[in-house]
Amino acid sequence: MKNLSKRIDELTNFDYNVLVKGACCMLKIKNLTIGDGIPKICVPMCSANEEQLIKEADEIAAKHVDIAEWRMDHYENVFDIKRVVSFAETLKKHLADTLLLCTFRTGREGGNPIAFDDNLYFDMNKALIKSRHLDMIDLELFMDKLRLKELIATAHIYGVHVIMSNHDFHRTPGKEELMTRLMTMKRMEADILKIAVMPKNEEDLLTLLEVTQQMKSRVPKQAISDDIHGQNERIIVKNQWERFFGWRSTLWENGENRAEWLRAIRKKQVNTAIHYGPSAAAHEQQYYKANVANSLQDGNYHTYSLDWDENNLTISIDNVKFHTFDISSNTYFHDNFYILFNLAVGGAFTGITDINKLTGLKDGQKVNMYIDWVKIL
């Protein structure tokens, strides 16, 4: 929570002298007018458990942040649609006047790399829209187009604003490709068009700005958000126009500091999941992710243990309980089974299929798994 509070303070105390002024349209959502006055601030909520999420929502509301984004792909109960809808209502109450943006970011677009199918994606977002427990929803461009158009139409019927997004964290596509993607979003009648790219040089930055300028004349009614992730800096350019013209670009935080912060977080981050079901295609899973107290990449050995009894699966790290899954009523964990110990890096589940992009082993390197004992009572 200290990190979240510090981050919010950094955003709300931002030095607006670095803004590059231009033209901007206005998109009004309840009491917030996007594109009018100072840039609006959106703070993500990425915790897995509900207690922590509620704490973050309360702090965001206390700081009077404009928009809170609930990253549902990190939520421990994300596969339970009824639970997701119910908890969205809880978050909305705690956020008070802060707008709620709900986002299920897929692994291929930079989200939490959990196993899911397209039906879950569309069913969950549709249920959220119909509940009206949110103000805005993020939908990814590279999903089934017919189902996306239906979902956007449903959102507009229920008064939910749609951000259509696309992310490329490895490069900046060419001007024609960027225009094609944005124009596709326009034709699908999204309210806000978002492109996130990775520029490698000044030419890439100029390409994105040129595309933004061209879109201004072609898209008079949609808002456009260009999120540029640089290697040495992070620039967020938000362009919204409807009746009035102009744009503001915000020079954000130093990218190296952000990268260092992310590396420190990931050294403490642990993911655990249980999978069960009649087949791989029809399986279910429960998922939990959180940070432990100390770094797990400090060069020392660490103990990961699983205690399995008739009611619970309890995961501990260095003899400290990390999480408990309730299996008391789950018949799959009470049948006969085989034990398989597996060590995997990359693959289809993580979305990393290129050996040159693996963060673990490189070609020719080896790894060993040592199991001291297995005791079955």
**Cα 8 from Cα 92, distance rounded (Å):** 19
pLDDT at site 45 = 95
Give which of 359, 166, 196, 347 is closest to 269, Cα–Cα. Answer: 359
**Cα 93 from Cα 61, distance rounded (Å):** 10
Only one residue has tokens 């009035």, namely 244
Q: Distance of alpha carbon 126 from its chain centroid, rounded? A: 18
**Cα 145 from Cα 151, distance rounded (Å):** 10
**Cα 304 from Cα 352, distance rounded (Å):** 24
**Cα 73 from Cα 289, distance rounded (Å):** 11
pLDDT in tens, the chain (377 residues): 445 555 444 444 333 222 222 233 567 888 888 767 777 888 999 999 999 999 999 999 998 889 999 999 999 999 999 999 999 999 999 999 999 999 999 988 888 888 888 899 999 999 999 999 999 999 999 899 889 999 999 999 889 999 999 988 788 888 888 988 888 888 888 888 888 888 888 888 888 888 887 877 666 555 555 554 433 322 333 332 222 222 222 223 344 444 555 556 557 778 788 888 877 667 787 878 777 877 777 777 778 888 888 899 999 888 888 899 999 988 888 888 777 776 655 555 555 566 565 555 555 666 667 777 777 66
**Cα 69 from Cα 162, distance rounded (Å):** 13
**Cα 122 from Cα 150, distance rounded (Å):** 10
**Cα 360 from Cα 343, distance rounded (Å):** 11
Domain boundaries, the chain: 2-262, 270-357
- Choosing from 40, 74, 126, 194, the catalytic residue is 194
pLDDT at site 73 = 94
pLDDT at site 68 = 94
pLDDT at site 359 = 53
Is residue 334 annotated as a catalytic residue, yes or no?
no
Give which of 185, 172, 149 is closest to 231, Cα–Cα. Answer: 172
Predicted TM-score (pTM) of this structure = 0.56
pLDDT at site 334 = 85
Q: Is 347 helix (H, G, I), strand (E, B) or coil?
A: strand
**Cα 302 from Cα 294, distance rounded (Å):** 11
- Choosing from 94, 161, 167, 323, the catalytic residue is 167
Beta bridge partners of 290: 270
* The pair of three-digit structure tokens given for residue 81, joined into one six-digit string: 């649609």
* The pair of three-digit structure tokens given for residue 120, joined into one six-digit string: 């879950």
**Cα 38 from Cα 5, distance rounded (Å):** 21
Is residue 175 annotated as a catalytic residue, yes or no?
no
pLDDT at site 352 = 58
pLDDT at site 355 = 58
* The pair of three-digit structure tokens given for residue 251, joined into one six-digit string: 């020079």
pLDDT at site 4 = 56
What is the phi/psi pair of residue 43, to 5°?
-115, 125
pLDDT at site 70 = 97
**Cα 267 from Cα 304, distance rounded (Å):** 15
Beta bridge partners of 233: 254
Q: Which CATH class is domain 2-262?
A: alpha beta
